[in-house]
Amino acid sequence: MLTSFCILSIMLNDLLQGTDAGGFFIIQDSCRYSARRLLWSFIKAALNREEVVHVLSFEVSEDELKNGLKGSPIERLRFHDAYSDPLGWSGRGAFTVDRFCAESVTALVEPSSPGRRAVLVIDSLSWILRHSGPAAVCRAVRQLRNDGSVVIVGLLHRDLHPRGTVGSLCRSAASVVAVDAGPRGAEAKVTKRLKSGKVLQDEEVFSVDDDLTVVGRSEPSRVRPREPEMDPTAHLTFNLRLSDLEREAKEKLALPFVFTKEKYEKWPLLAFGCQFLRWFLSARKAALLHTGSGRIVYEPDANDDYDQEDPDDDLDV
């Protein structure tokens, strides 16, 4: 069933209204599915809310971005060109990778309308991670979050980085959406961290329309069939289980060390010996367990060289 709302859109509204636990939001994609149109839908939603959106772009030119946002109020869009010269080799770019820090970003993002935070969209974080390192990025993001004046929405290509690097950056984010191509279409795994420390997770199949509207498909959760338990005795070369007849025969069998009435009648001398042995062992056990006082008596031998005045005379000290 298609619905006109989507979890992703609700999360975006929470970010823009300041109700989100933090100000850092990550969209993960891979070579299997590009999340750039989803990122553009977030930009459009922010512009429709009359927010001033600053786009720090390393992978898309200004013309391509504006063509993708046709029909949106782009007069409140502020494009910061990091696409022309991201590494600062020619000196023509407006922003370079080495300038990504809390001070530079704060100076770059001009104050938005009173009572609202500025929105910074980074396309993409992978450029900054590969040239500045995760420690510098996490430090800058933490400082911006503590300041509370900027909402950051970043695109991250997770298959370009080690899993540990992606995990470190995502733990700094208040919300993470990991998108991928699935058998039912584009799938999004949403992770949201609340102020209380609780983590909410959900999965959703979604699509992005031509007008950049995010549409979610709500489907009943499928109950996975329970896998049958494996029988460890299924492929043995011998049988560990007894049938009813075998079990009955086992119970009737007299063990060789158990003396029944028939055995006593057949071997009376053996029965008397077993009774005597049982009595002897019982008496021996009682004698060993008997509590009483005792002492150690030492009688020196004729060859012992024992000096009463110097007991340690035999020691080489």
Residue 270: inside a domain, yes or no? yes
Residue 279 and residue 152 share a domain: no
Residue 60: inside a domain, yes or no? yes
Give the rounded percent of residues in the chain with a pLDDT score beyond 70. Answer: 73
Strand pairing partners for 26? 154, 176
Residue 236: inside a domain, yes or no? no
Residue 258 and residue 121 share a domain: no
- Minimum mean pLDDT range among 51-60, 97-106, 279-288: 279-288
Mean pLDDT of 297-311: 67
Residue 190 and residue 120 share a domain: yes
Strand pairing partners for 202? 190
pLDDT at 256 over 90: no
Q: What is the pLDDT of residues 22-63, one digit of tens each?
A: 578 899 999 999 999 989 988 888 888 888 889 999 999 989
| Number of compact structural domains in the chain | 2
105 closest CA partner among 83, 82, 134: 82
Mean pLDDT of 201-221: 76
Band of pLDDT at residue 288, cut at 50, 70 and 90 = low
Residue 273 and residue 161 share a domain: no
Token pair, residue 229, equals 């338990």
Residue 79: inside a domain, yes or no? yes
Residue 178 and residue 102 share a domain: yes
Mean pLDDT of 279-300: 70
pLDDT at 310 over 50: yes
User: 178 lies in which domain range?
Assistant: 7-217
Query: Are 74 and 66 a contacting pair, CB within 8 Å?
Result: yes
Residue 284 and residue 200 share a domain: no
Residue 297: inside a domain, yes or no? no
d(CA 154, CA 161): 15
Residue 264 and residue 188 share a domain: no
97 closest CA partner among 121, 125, 128, 137: 128
What's residue 1's pLDDT? Answer: 38
What's residue 141's pLDDT? Answer: 87
pLDDT at 300 over 90: no
Instruction: List the CATH number of the domain containing 62.
Output: 3.40.50.300
What's residue 260's pLDDT? Answer: 66
Contacts of 200 (CB under 8 A, 6+ apart): 190, 191, 192, 193, 194
Which residue carries 């553009």 as its tokens?
Answer: 40
Residue with the bigger pLDDT between 248 and 260: it is 248
Angle of the 125-132 helix axis to the 134-147 helix axis, nearest 10: 120
pLDDT at 72 over 90: no
Residue with the bigger pLDDT between 277 and 178: it is 178
Strand pairing partners for 193? 199
Residue 244: inside a domain, yes or no? no
Band of pLDDT at residue 19, cut at 50, 70 and 90 = very low
- Minimum mean pLDDT range among 105-114, 188-197, 235-244, 290-299: 290-299
pLDDT at 298 over 80: no
What's residue 221's pLDDT? Answer: 44
d(CA 125, CA 83): 13
Question: According to the per-residue pLDDT averaged within each range, which of 121-135, 254-268, 279-293 is highest?
Answer: 121-135
Phi, psi of 12 (to 5 degrees): -65, -45
d(CA 187, CA 205): 4
Band of pLDDT at residue 20, cut at 50, 70 and 90 = low
Residue with the bigger pLDDT between 205 and 225: it is 205
Q: b/e map of 171-205 (b: 16 or more CB within 10 Å)?
A: ebbbbbbbbeeeeeebbbebbbbeeeeeeeeeebb
